[in-house]
Amino acid sequence: MSVVKTIIENLKILSENFKYKSDTFSNSVIFINEVNKIKIQPENKVGFSITYNLYFGEKMLLVSEEAVYHFCLDLFKRKNSDIEVIYRAGKPIDVSEWFKIERKEALDAIDAIQKELEYNYRLKYLFLESKRFDIIYFNDLMIIEDKKKEYLFNVFDFKILKLYEN
């Protein structure tokens, strides 16, 4: 699966956590809830064109592939259509960097999720935190958010993360 398709599929899964409905079209996806209407469309080599409702109109901007999860998660969390989401360029946290910063805590988080999954194979949501990161497990995806805001949010397939334990 291409990176773009993976991102779109992951965003569809993540949107469920925020009670969105989604519609997929040939070249875009739309997410809707009682506050937001968000359209995401891949753009050639630029990243993604994201259009969302703002006040009584719309705002459109280009978001890099690296920042798309961060920007979309900020939009998904938005509680009022009058709030503009600010695009922030930056480097998303990756697994190797997470392990450099707090290896033991990262391994403990992965282990805790795995144990919870063994106990409850239907687990959809689990929130964990370390001193530096908020970690959310949702439907086989793991969201890592830097409390210090040095890194952008990032999303990982939990099955792949388990390989880092060794």
Distance, in Å, from the CA atom of 112 to the CA atom of 149, rounded to the nearest integer, reads 24
Task: Outline which parts of the chain fall under CATH 3.30.310.
Answer: 3-77
Nearest to 134 by CA among 111, 156, 109, 104: 109
Q: Convert the pLDDT of each residue in 33-45 to its tens digit.
A: 999 999 999 997 7
Overall pTM surpassing 0.85 (yes/no): yes
Burial class from Cβ neighbours inside 10 Å (0-12, 13-18, 19+) for residue 82 reads exposed
Class of residue 36 by CB neighbours under 10 A (exposed 0-12, middle 13-18, buried 19+): buried
DSSP letters spanning 30-43? EEE-SS-EEEEEEE
* Per-residue model confidence (pLDDT) at position 45: 76
Buried b (16+ CB within 10 A) or exposed e, 92-103: bbebeebeebee
Please give the span between the terminal C-alpha atoms of the chain, in angstroms, as a whole number: 26
The correct CATH number of 3-77 out of 3.20.20, 3.30.70, 3.30.310, 2.40.128 is 3.30.310
| Residue 84 DSSP symbol | P
CA distances from residue 16 to 96, 112, 124, 131, 138 in whole angstroms, order as listed: 28, 23, 10, 27, 9
Mean pLDDT of 118-130: 91
141 with 157: CB under 8 angstroms?
Answer: yes
pLDDT of residue 44: 77
Pairing of strands 57-63, 125-129: unpaired
- Label residue 1 by pLDDT band (50, 70, 90): low
